Chains A and B, each alone.
Chain A
Amino acid sequence: MATMPASASASDLLKSFKLKTKQQELLIRVSILCLVYILAFITRLFSVLRYESMIHEFDPYFNYRTTLYLTENGFYDFWNWFDYESWYPLGRIVGGTLYPGLMVTAVLIYRILRFLRFAVHIREVCVLTAPFFASNTTLVAYFFGKEIWDSGAGLVAAILIAVCPGYISRSVAGSYDNEGVAIFALLFTFYVFVKAVNTGSLAWCLASAFGYFYMVSAWGGYVFIINLIPLYVLVLLITGRYSMRLYVAYNCMYILGMLLAMQIRFVGFQHVQSGEHMAAMGVFFLMQVFYFLDWVKHMLSDTKLFQAFLRITVTSAVAVGGIALGLGMVSGYISPWTGRFYSLLDPTYAKDHIPIIASVSEHQPTAWSSFMFDFHILLFLFPAGLYFCFKRLSDATIFIVMYGLTSMYFAGVMVRLILVATPAVCLISAIAVSATVKNLTVLLRSKNKVVQTGSTKGSGGSKSSSKALLDQSQPFQKNGAIALLFGAFYLLSRYATHCTWVTSEAYSSPSIVLAARGAHGNRVIFDDYREAYFWLRQNTPQDAKVMSWWDYGYQITAMGNRTVIVDNNTWNNTHIATVGRAMSSYEDEAIEIIRSLDVDYVLVVFGGVTGYSSDDINKFLWMVRIGGGVFPVIKEPDYLVNGEYRVDKGAAPKMLNCLMYKLCYYRFGEMMTEYGKPPGYDRARGVEIGNKDVKLEHLEEAFTTSNWIVRIYRVKPPNNRW
Chain B
Amino acid sequence: MGKLWLICIASISILLPFLCNAFSPETPTDRRVLVLLDDFAIMSSHSLYFNALKSRGFDLEFKLADDPKIALQRYGQYLYDALILFCPSVERFGGSIDVAAIVNFVDSGHDLIVAADVNASDLIREVGTECGVDFDEDPSAMVIDHIGYAVSGTEGDHTLIASDDFIKSDVILGGKKIEAPILFRGIGHAVSPANSLVLKVLSASPSAYSANPKSKLSTPPPLTGSAISLVSIVQARNNARLLITGSLSMFSNRFFRSGVQKAGSQIKHEKSGNEQFLTEISKWIFHERGHLKAVNVKHHRVGETDEPALYRINDELEYAVEIYEWSGTSWEPYVANDVQLQFYMMSPYVLKTLSSDKKGLYSTSFKVPDVYGVFQFKVEHQKLGYTSLSLSKQIPVRPYRHNEYERFIPAAYPYYGAAFSMMAGFFIFSFAHLYSK
Contacts and interface: CB of A to CB of B under 8 A. Distances in A.
- Answer whether A and B are interacting partners: yes
Contacts of A719: 237
B237 A91 contact: no
B374 interface: yes
B277 to A, nearest CB: 23
Most buried by B among A91, A717, A721: A721
Contacts of B424: none
A82 interface: yes
A722 B103 CA distance: 12
Nearest to A717: B237
Contacts of A88: 374
A316 interface: no
Contacts of A80: 398, 401-402
B160 interface: no
Interface string A682-697: 0000000000000000
A104 to B, nearest CB: 16
A82 B396 contact: yes
Interface in A80-95: 80, 82, 84, 88-91, 93
A720 B375 contact: no
Interface residues of B, number: 29
Contacts of B132: 721-722
Contact of A721 (B236, B373, B374): B236
B238 interface: yes
A84 B107 CA distance: 34
Interface in B196-242: 196-197, 234, 236-238, 240, 242
B73 interface: no
A89 B349 CA distance: 13
B129 to A, nearest CB: 10
A89 B372 contact: no
A473 interface: no
B372 A720 contact: no
Interface string B364-402: 000000001111000000000000000000101011011
B238 A722 contact: no
B197 A721 contact: yes
A575 B236 CA distance: 33
Interface in A687-722: 717-722
B372 A93 contact: yes
B130 A91 contact: no
A697 to B, nearest CB: 13
Contact of A722 (B194, B396, B402): B194
A79 interface: yes
Contacts of B402: 76, 79-80
B330 to A, nearest CB: 28
A543 interface: yes
Nearest to A722: B195
A721 B195 contact: yes
A596 interface: yes
A82 B404 CA distance: 14
Contacts of A76: 401-402
B238 A720 contact: yes
B106 interface: yes
Contact of B236 (A563, A596, A720): A720
Most buried by B among A89, A718, A722: A722
B346 interface: yes
B203 to A, nearest CB: 21
Contacts of A84: 310, 373-374, 396, 398
Interface string A67-80: 00000000010011
B43 interface: no
B372 A722 contact: no
B147 interface: no
10 closest A-B pairs by CB: A82-B398, A84-B396, A89-B374, A80-B401, A720-B236, A720-B107, A91-B373, A84-B374, A721-B236, A89-B345
20 contacts: A84-B396, A84-B398, A89-B373, A89-B374, A90-B374, A91-B372, A91-B373, A91-B374, A543-B394, A563-B374, A720-B236, A721-B103, A721-B107, A721-B130, A721-B132, A721-B236, A721-B237, A722-B132, A722-B194, A722-B197
Interface of B: 103, 106-107, 130-132, 194-197, 234, 236-238, 240, 242, 310, 345-346, 372-375, 394, 396, 398-399, 401-402
